[in-house]
Amino acid sequence: MIVEQNEPVTLIGGGAVAAGDLDLALSLAPFLVAADGGADLALSEGRIPQAVIGDLDSLSNIVRKQLAPNTIYEIAEQSSTDFHKALRHIKAPVVLAVGFLGARVDHQLASFNTLVQVLSSPCILLGEHELVFHVPREISLATEAGETVSLFPMGPVTAESTGLEWPLSGLKMSPMGNIGTSNRAVGPMSLTMEGPGLLGIIPRRHLPQLMQQIAQAPPWSSKVALR
């Protein structure tokens, strides 16, 4: 393990980062790690990552010279993304990831794939308007009536729900079948999962309570694989 922290960690990637998002993330998750070229973005914001992890093909020479050599960790294999490389080498209660949404679609899809894999730490992707996360076994959120709650299966999944306009009970979801995008809350909502593989997409205002719940949730076992 490269990074082990008892507090939340911010992970910055090389994609789009809206103004103020890095500061927001660091106010909640103060330990900063960069995935490869995310270090360039971090330094452009006046922030120095405490670790840089990836294959380093996007890290500029100018930025590399400004970093302490013992904070740079090259993982040369090409079978995984820099997001995956970084996340699997971080152990923390929760990782708040910025710079992984809003740029290339293929990079976003790869990030969603990484989210539902059983890695060392749970992770929340911070987007311009929404948060994306792998739904744990149980979660309850103080949503308000009319708020969008999108749910996208990355494999066959079933769940029980309360507080949604279109309940999930009895619905078999899969990427090539039923999905749960553009659902709406009718008040506070809860989900109880029968297995892993469901992405939750909710408004950004829920970030503090989502981080707390994700950090406290029992991890999915590596023996419970997507089918």
pLDDT digits 0-9 by tens, 110-146: 899 999 987 889 999 999 899 999 999 999 999 999 9
**87 in a domain, yes or no?**
yes
Residues 178 and 77 in one domain: no
Q: What is the pTM of this model?
A: 0.92
Please indicate, yes or no, whether residues 66 and 143 belong to a single structural domain of this protein. Answer: no
pLDDT at residue 223, rounded to an integer: 53
Residue 119: both structure tokens together: 């890695």
Asked whether residue 59 is assigned to any structural domain, the reply reads yes
Six-digit token string for 116: 């539902």
In a domain, 25, yes or no: yes
Nearest to 39 by CA among 64, 19, 68, 16: 64
Inside any domain, residue 55: yes
CA–CA distances in Å: residue 133 to residues 10, 63, 205: 15, 30, 14
113 & 14 share domain: yes
Q: Are residues 154 and 181 in the same domain?
A: yes
**Domains: count for the chain:** 2
Question: CB atoms < 10 A from the CB of 49, how many?
Answer: 23
Q: Are residues 144 and 121 in the same domain?
A: no
Domain that holds residue 121: 3-128
Q: Cα–Cα distances in Å, from 158 out to 30, 54, 184, 201, 223?
A: 35, 35, 18, 17, 18
The pLDDT, as a whole number, for residue 222 is 60
Q: Whose CA is closest to 3, among 22, 31, 23? A: 31
Q: Does residue 133 fall inside a structural domain?
A: no
pLDDT at residue 102, as a whole number: 74
**Structural domain contains residue 74:** yes
Residues 13 and 122 in one domain: yes
Q: Within the chain, which residues score under 50 in pLDDT?
A: 225-227
Domain assignment present for residue 205? The answer is no
For residue 169, what are its two tokens?
A: 């009970």
| Residues 6 or more apart whose Cβ sits within 8 Å of residue 53 | 2, 3, 33, 34, 35, 36, 73, 75, 82, 85, 86, 89, 90
